[in-house]
Amino acid sequence: MTEVKNKIIELKNAVIRFAGDSGDGMQLTGNLFSDSTAFAGNDFATFPDYPAEIRAPQGTVAGVSGFQIHFGSNDIHTSGDLADVLVAMNPASLKANMNWITKDAIIIVDNDAFTEKNITKAGYEDNPLSDGSLNGHLVVNGPIATLTKNAVSELDIDNKSAQKSKNMFALGMIFYMFNRDFTKTFSFFENKFKSKPLVVEANKLVLKAGYHYADTIEAFVNTYKIDPAPLNKGTYRNVTGNLATSWGLLAAAERSGLKLFIGSYPITPATEILQELAKHKQFSAISLQAEDEIAGIVSTLGASFAGALPVTSTSGPGLSLKSEALGLAVMTELPLVVVDVQRGGPSTGLPTKSEQSDLYQALFGRNGEAPLIVLAASSPSDCFYSAFEAVKLSVEHMTPVILLTDGSLANGSEVFKIPKVSDLPKIYPPIVKENDPDFQSYKRDEKKLSRPWAIPGTKGLRHRIGGLEKENITGNVSHSPENHELMSRLREEKVERVSNFIVNQDIIGDHDADTLVVSWGGTHGVMLTAVEQLLDEGHSIALAHFKHIKPLPKNAEELFSRYEKILVCEINLGQFVNYLRMRLPQFTYKQYNKIQGLPFTVAELKKEFIALLNE
């Protein structure tokens, strides 16, 4: 084919990975590209890859910070398996990311950063740019540092400050490559650096210089264009899972008329929830940074007794510390929402990596028979709806709820269609009116089996609750054997009856298939993508992705009975599959598990599914 200069090629979707040293501003670069992607009307999902150390030695692999974006004209459900374009600002970031790019990925590097010293620091023996190890890739190795310096030579700015804009040079090149518009990015600079006009100017000049450089040297042979995705009418934004969780909780506070109280202790990757909610006192949302996770949950339970909308957020190790208090919440039958943003365990484990390994802990990690509701969010934007539902169920059914999200949802972002809060369901707290003559603290609602919420300060309802077993109806302390059995069964039944108040489990894909793949929580995007691709390729397969874990949706049994082969996929050693084996033992479940601190890839799932289809 005779190539015309700068042919614009239309793509359906693409994955770009920005990588550099922690100080190179790769998260900002990624976010700015996301903004322009939104502006271009694409659907997208992103994932940051932070180094585990806050200030790892400069130039080392340990100090590499990355940001991946997957964008397209189709529905995008994941941040992408492998990158089609890698921006590597130094040798270490090239080294760290070679496993995460496609065989023919385009690589943009800052040639100036490939000094002997940096190459050695990254752990290379030879310069990877010249030793042939990048064969098969189109490598664009511009002297980015030098060109950045040149771009701002007219400005009264020292080189050290100028080099801070180096990332914008790379972004400019990517903008050229994908035919992007600067407008959004420029107005971002103007806002962000309002008081520093010189910095605004420098960033603009460098971004433009990168753009023109790519054009002038004909860096990419072709450029690319991705059409807008067919998004429904509405207003959209980008959200991470932790942000969506926080906002879902605030929306639930508004719909319930309750004041939110969060008592929490910082822990990766849950901290942003406490930080976000701490910003919103204007909604009477109260945050308490407790002295530990125990005080976090216990102060929250105190607030619950006092009539607040009670939330505590944590990750695995913190959930362990909260176990005893969760038992108290089960016994006192007060509302309480625990958000557990799962990470790699056990113990400190892999704090910055994602895993689905707290499911057993959520279901069973308490002394005594201590049932509670367990929900799992399925995507960053679903965190909003799952958090909302967690509150609704907890408050209306007077029971603790554990909402499981995970590190990949928490930090990953995607496009979120902004709902109107008034369109969300109303939440009805079963608060008892003063001097209610029928009030008894453990007299239950007939349908839900929930007990009434009698809030201190209300006339005529004085009563005592606590961790000792309660007598049915009166709520007095009781050691009666029959009463204990009755109460144990009532508490279990109360949680199981929640299945009358949640949606049925749905199936995606081919309803008549023989093969059902099953997943839960944060793997939704990658499972859906794999299944959609197989369906497109003509295979017959169905997906059941669970958000309601305890209780299971009522139709789960009927649904499983329709399939010959059931494969349960999880980022753990098989916690959900074993739970299903316990709850619905009549079916045979196969399992696919991965526990490397890494998400599933679409490719590995498809391979696994095809093998199963061919069995």
Q: Which residues bind other proteins (CB under 8 A)?
A: 35, 38-39, 41, 231-238, 247, 250-251, 253-254, 259, 261, 263, 280-284, 286, 288, 290-292, 294-295, 298-308, 324-325, 327-328, 332, 418-422, 455-468, 476-477
CB nearer to other proteins: pick between 346 and 456: 456
Q: Smallest gap, in angstroms, from Cβ of residue 15 to other proteins?
A: 21
Q: Smallest gap, in angstroms, from Cβ of residue 381 to other proteins?
A: 11
Q: Smallest gap, in angstroms, from Cβ of residue 101 to other proteins?
A: 28
Residues with Cβ within 8 Å of 40's Cβ and at least 6 positions away in sequence, in order, are 180, 181, 226, 228
Q: List phi, psi (to 5°) of 564.
A: -80, -45
Q: Smallest gap, in angstroms, from Cβ of residue 307 to other proteins?
A: 7
Peptide bond into 346 cis (omega under 30): yes
Task: Tell me which DSSP letter residue 599 carries.
Answer: -
Residue 240 near residue 204 (C-beta atoms within 8 A): no
CB nearer to other proteins: pick between 327 and 429: 327
CB nearer to other proteins: pick between 457 and 585: 457
Burial of 431 (0-12, 13-18, 19+ CB in 10 A): middle
Q: Smallest gap, in angstroms, from Cβ of residue 467 to other proteins?
A: 6
CB nearer to other proteins: pick between 64 and 297: 297
CB nearer to other proteins: pick between 85 and 303: 303
CB nearer to other proteins: pick between 36 and 342: 36
Q: Smallest gap, in angstroms, from Cβ of residue 65 to other proteins?
A: 22
Q: Smallest gap, in angstroms, from Cβ of residue 366 to other proteins?
A: 12
Output the six-digit token pair for 248: 């879902």
Residue 34 near residue 46 (C-beta atoms within 8 A): yes
CB nearer to other proteins: pick between 214 and 253: 253
Q: Which has the closest alpha carbon to 229: 48, 378, 45?
A: 45
CB nearer to other proteins: pick between 18 and 247: 247
- CA 167 – CA 202 distance, rounded (Å): 12
CB nearer to other proteins: pick between 282 and 614: 282
Residue 534 near residue 609 (C-beta atoms within 8 A): yes
- CA 10 – CA 22 distance, rounded (Å): 33
CB nearer to other proteins: pick between 121 and 470: 470
Per-residue DSSP letters for 14-76? Answer: EEEEEEEEGGG-HHHHHHHHHHHHHHTT-EEEEEEE--SSTTPPTTSGGGEEEEEEEEESS--
- CA 118 – CA 111 distance, rounded (Å): 11
CA 169 to chain centre: 30
Residues with Cβ within 8 Å of 488's Cβ and at least 6 positions away in sequence, in order, are 369
Q: Smallest gap, in angstroms, from Cβ of residue 278 to other proteins?
A: 10
Label the pairing between strands 260-264 and 286-289. parallel
In Å, how far are 59, 297, 331, 458 from 465, measured between CA atoms? Answer: 58, 17, 9, 15
- CA 421 – CA 250 distance, rounded (Å): 10
Q: Smallest gap, in angstroms, from Cβ of residue 104 to other proteins?
A: 32
Q: Which has the closest alpha carbon to 562: 596, 509, 608, 515?
A: 515
CB nearer to other proteins: pick between 300 and 411: 300
Output the six-digit token pair for 283: 């909604």
CB nearer to other proteins: pick between 66 and 296: 296
How many C-beta neighbours within 10 Å does residue 484 have? 16
Q: Smallest gap, in angstroms, from Cβ of residue 357 to other proteins?
A: 26
Q: Smallest gap, in angstroms, from Cβ of residue 386 to other proteins?
A: 16
Q: Smallest gap, in angstroms, from Cβ of residue 286 to other proteins?
A: 6
CB nearer to other proteins: pick between 324 and 604: 324
What letter represents residue 334's amino acid? L
Reading phi first (left if > 0) and then psi (alpha if -120 to 50, else beta), residue 554 is in: alpha
Q: Smallest gap, in angstroms, from Cβ of residue 400 to other proteins?
A: 14
CB nearer to other proteins: pick between 441 and 575: 441
Q: Smallest gap, in angstroms, from Cβ of residue 22 to other proteins?
A: 24
Output the six-digit token pair for 204: 């603009």
Q: Which has the closest alpha carbon to 143: 180, 103, 184, 114?
A: 114
In Å, how far are 354, 435, 455, 571, 572 from 462, measured between CA atoms? Answer: 45, 10, 9, 47, 47
Residue 92 near residue 29 (C-beta atoms within 8 A): no
